[in-house]
Structure 1
Amino acid sequence: MARNNVYLYYRNKQRHETQVRKLVEVGKRYGLNVVQDHKQANIIVSIGGDGAFLQAARFTGFRDDAIYVGFAEGPNSFYCDFDINDLSSVEAIFKETGDRVSNGEIEVRRYPLLEASINGGPGMLCLNECSVKSSIIKSLAIEVYIDGFLFETFRGDGMVISTPTGSTAYNKSLSGAIVDPLIHCLQVSEIASVNNNRYRTLGSAFLLNRGRKLSLRIIEDGNDYPIIGMDNEALSLKRTDSVDIQLSDKELKTVKLTNNTFWHKIQRSFL
C-alpha cells in the first residue's frame, strides 16, 4: 500500500464541495493521492468539526494503522487542528504530512480508546465516552463492579464512562476532571444520582487505571431499557442487561504538531 493515500470523510457534500475540491488540489501538489476506499488510505481526513472527526473514526473502524487529521470551520475545535478555510494552514499540513509520511518520519499523538461489550457481545470502540442513560422518565438502577467486586449500587439518570480526551466533553459538563491523555485510564461520572438509605454512591467522578474492568449490571425494576451511547451515536437495543468497559489495546493516532499539545488544545477551547 502506498504511504501517501488520503481518504476524505465528510457528510455535507453540498456545503463542503468547494472546500473538498481545494483539499484535493493542494494534496496533489504535495504528492498525496485521494482514494475512495478508506482501507487503501494511511491518512484519514475528516471535514466538519469534532462531530465529523468522531464519525470518521467510527466509520473507518478506528484504524490503528492510519493517521487521522481533522479540519473544522474555525479554530475552536478539539480534535480538529486545522481551519479548512485557512488555505495557508491547509497547504502547510499537507506539505508537512506528505513529506513526513513519504519518508516514514511522521510524529503522531496517540489517544486511548474505550472498548465496551453489551450483554457479553463483541467489543465496540469509542473515542470520547460510553454513556448508559435512562430512556424513560424514571431513574435507572445499576450495580457497579470493578474487577468483579461490587463497588456500589447506583440509582439516577445514568453514568458516563470517558477516555482522557473524552473527559473534556460530556464528562466535563458533569463536573468530572479533565485528564491528560498520557494517563491511560477510564473516568466514571454520575448523572443525577439519588442517595438515600437504600442507594448509596460515591457522589463524585473516579478514575480506573488501564487493565481495570468496569462492569455495569442493570437492575430489573421496570426500567430495563437504557439508551447506550457510543461517542455521538446511540445504539438501538431492545434490552440491556450488562455493559462491560475497559481501555482498548488500540489507540487512535493524529498528527503531532509543534506547540499543539493536549493542554494547548484545552487552553484554546476553554480559556
Structure 2
Amino acid sequence: MSLVTSRTNLYLSYKRTDEMEKIVKQLQSLAEENDFTIVPSVEDANIIASIGGDNAFLQATRKTGFQQNCLYVGVSTDSLGFYTDFSVQDLKKMIHAMKNAEVEVRRYPILEVTVDNEKPFYCLNECSIRSNVIKTFVIDVFIDDLHFETFRGDGMIVSTPTGSTAYNMSVNGAVVDPTLPSLQVSEIASLNNNQYRTLGTSFLLGPNRTLTLKVVQDGNDHPIIGVDNEALSIRHAKQLKLRLADESIKVLKLKNNSFWEKVQRNFLSKPNS
C-alpha cells in the first residue's frame, strides 16, 4: 500500500543555514510535485522528516516531542546512518519508495528519564551521567527495589537497543537487536577494589524493569546528565530513574536496509566496498 494518501502532511526538521535552505527547497518542490503538503507545524503533520544525519534525527524526535501519531523519516546530507535510510543526493528514490510500498514502519523503544521526581525527559539513544570534575564519583545502583551495586568511576551510560551502537559501543557495550525491548547499562572507567565492587561489564534489563541511580552526596554531586546529544541544564541531581517508556516511535525505513545490514556497513565493510 502506498503511503501517499489524500492527506500526507510533511513537516521538515533541519538546522537553519543557507546551505541547508537550498537542500530543503529542492525537497519541498519534489514533495509538492508528488502530492505531499508541506506544513509549518508538527501538530498538522503525518510525517516528520529530519534533514541532516543521525544527530539531526535525534534532535528532531526530541524537539517534536516524540509524536505518536506521526511517522519519522531520516534524510541524510552525507553518508547514511542508523536512522537515515535516504539521501538528499537521491530524493527521487525516497519519493518512489514511499509511493510504491518499498518502505516499512518499525517501532523503536524510547528511554524515559526522571531526575529527582521531576517531569520525565525522553531520549532515543541513551542517557549518560558523568562527573563534572576530574574526579570519580559514587552511584548506588538499584534494579527495581534491589540495591545491586555501588559504582565508583567516571560515569554510566544507559542505552536503548538502537543506541547500543553509539556512546555505549565506545565503552565496549554490546550491540543489541532493536527487536529486543531492553535497556543496557554500561560503565565508564569504573574503579574496583575492596570498597567498591561492580559487575565490571555491561548488562541488559527487560522492558518492565526500573533502574535507579542514586548519586552519593560526597561533594561531587553536580554530575553532567546527557540525553542523546544534549546536556540537561540540571545543576544538582540526587537520583535518576530510568525505564523504557510505554510508547515507542514509528520510523519509516527501507525494507532492504535492516539494522544488522547497517551494523555490517558501518563497522565491518571495507571503505568503498
- What TM-score, normalized by structure 1, do the two folds share? 0.94
Identical-pair percentage: 50
Matched residue SS, 2:190: coil
Matched residue SS, 2:72: strand
The aligned residue for residue 261 of structure 2 is 264
Query: Is residue 188 of structure 1 aligned with residue 189 of structure 2?
Result: no
Instruction: Write the distance in 1 (CA, Å) between the matches of 2:125 and 2:30.
Output: 31
Matched residue SS, 2:84: coil
Instruction: Write the distance in 1 (CA, Å) between the matches of 2:221 and 2:35.
Output: 54
Q: Deviations over 1:56-80 (max 9, x none)?
A: 0001001121111111123341211
The aligned residue for residue 41 of structure 2 is 37
User: 2:20 is aligned with what amino acid?
Assistant: H
Query: Is residue 169 of structure 1 aligned with residue 170 of structure 2?
Result: no
Question: How many angstroms does 1:106 deviate by?
Answer: 6.8
The aligned residue for residue 23 of structure 2 is 19
Query: Is residue 123 of structure 1 aligned with residue 120 of structure 2?
Result: yes
User: 1:234 is aligned with what amino acid?
Assistant: A
Query: Is residue 51 of structure 1 aligned with residue 77 of structure 2?
Result: no
Instruction: Write the distance in 1 (CA, Å) between the matches of 2:202 and 2:170.
Output: 12
User: 1:257 is aligned with what amino acid?
Assistant: L
Instruction: Write the distance in 2 (CA, Å) between the matches of 1:228 and 1:163.
Output: 16
Query: Is residue 249 of structure 1 aligned with residue 249 of structure 2?
Result: no
Matched residue SS, 2:177: coil
Instruction: Write the distance in 2 (CA, Å) between the matches of 1:172 and 1:148.
Output: 28
Instruction: Write the distance in 2 (CA, Å) between the matches of 1:263 and 1:99.
Output: 24
The aligned residue for residue 98 of structure 2 is 97
Alignment match of 1:8 (pick from 7, 12, 15): 12
Q: Deviations over 1:189-247 (max 9, x none)?
A: 00000001110000000000000000000001110000110000000112100000000
Instruction: Write the distance in 2 (CA, Å) between the matches of 1:256 and 1:79.
Output: 8
The aligned residue for residue 83 of structure 2 is 79
Matched residue SS, 1:77: coil
Equivalent pair of 1:133/1:158 in contact (CA under 8 Å): yes
Farther off after superposition, 63-72 or 187-196:
63-72
Instruction: Write the distance in 2 (CA, Å) between the matches of 1:219 and 1:3.
Output: 53
Task: Give me the CA root mean square deviation.
Answer: 1.6
User: 1:71 is aligned with what amino acid?
Assistant: V
The aligned residue for residue 147 of structure 1 is 144
Alignment match of 2:135 (pick from 138, 142, 160): 138
* Consecutive unaligned residues in structure 2, runs of 5 or more: 269-273
Question: How many angstroms does 1:97 deviate by?
Answer: 2.5
Instruction: Write the distance in 1 (CA, Å) between the matches of 2:231 and 2:54.
Output: 17
Matched residue SS, 2:69: coil
The aligned residue for residue 212 of structure 1 is 209
Q: Deviations over 1:134-170 (max 9, x none)?
A: 0011111000000110000000000000000000000
Instruction: Write the distance in 1 (CA, Å) between the matches of 2:55 and 2:130.
Output: 20
Instruction: Write the distance in 1 (CA, Å) between the matches of 2:123 and 2:49.
Output: 18
Equivalent pair of 1:224/1:239 in contact (CA under 8 Å): yes
* Consecutive unaligned residues in structure 1, runs of 5 or more: none
Instruction: Write the distance in 2 (CA, Å) between the matches of 1:174 and 1:186.
Output: 15
Q: Deviations over 1:105-125 (max 9, x none)?
A: 973011110001000112211
Matched residue SS, 1:136: coil
Alignment match of 1:160 (pick from 143, 157, 160): 157
Matched residue SS, 1:175: coil
User: 2:46 is aligned with what amino acid?
Assistant: N
Change (3 A) 1:16 1:209: same
